[in-house]
Amino acid sequence: MRRRLVLAFILALGIARPAAAAPVAYAYDPEGSAVTAEADYGRTVVRARLPVAEADLAIDFERVANSRFAVVLRADRARSNIPFAARAIMGESVLDAANHPQIRFENTRVASAGEGRVTVTGQATLRGVTREVTLDAVIYRPPGSDPGVRDDLTVLITGTISRAAFGASGHAGSVGDAVRLRILLHVLRAG
């Protein structure tokens, strides 16, 4: 009799305990996604656009620390707002895209930074050099959508990195070291 009560109690705890939320996987929409990196060139801003090669996102809305952000960019397909700058950006002294055609970022930590905002810390690899960077991310729903529906989202990841920290120090006399990143990913719930 005592065994049955204990078993019934354990089963009741299992039923009463809410199911742990799991990260929700998202697939990125290449048409709605864009990545820009900009640096100061005197009084002008040099802006490079880099295509997203792949993105792996899983967001846990209950336990944000369980979320995953991984993005691969195509350094070898960089474009610029200044026509001659694209060649310099992809060149050996900056991105060295011929030898390192991709730029990678994968998170190691995610922490809440307020409503809809997170801080993402991870490993960025550029030119074969890997460094820890911390970026900010904001998650948006389409205007007018129900707050509980999270099938269609936009994730904006921003931050500033030192290009010299990755050995991308070419044209240092005319182009600033700080590179401002803006990764805009339109994502749709996978599966």
- What are the boundaries of each domain within the chain? 22-189
Q: Which two tokens stand for residue 11?
A: 């089963």
The pLDDT assigned to 11 comes to 34
Reported CATH class of domain 22-189: mainly beta
Q: Which two tokens stand for residue 59?
A: 């967001």
pLDDT (tens, 9 = 90+) of the chain, 191 residues, equals 433 333 333 333 333 334 456 899 999 999 989 999 999 998 999 999 999 999 999 999 889 999 999 999 999 999 999 988 889 999 999 999 999 999 999 999 999 998 778 999 999 999 999 999 999 999 999 999 998 889 999 999 999 999 999 999 999 989 999 999 999 999 999 97
Instruction: Map residue 67 onto helix, strand or coil.
Output: coil
The pLDDT assigned to 148 comes to 85
The pLDDT assigned to 20 comes to 55
Distance CA(117)–CA(128), nearest Å, equals 30
The pLDDT assigned to 15 comes to 37
Give yes or no for a contact between 39 and 81, defined as CB atoms under 8 angstroms apart: no
Numbers of helices and strands, H then E, in the chain: 2, 10
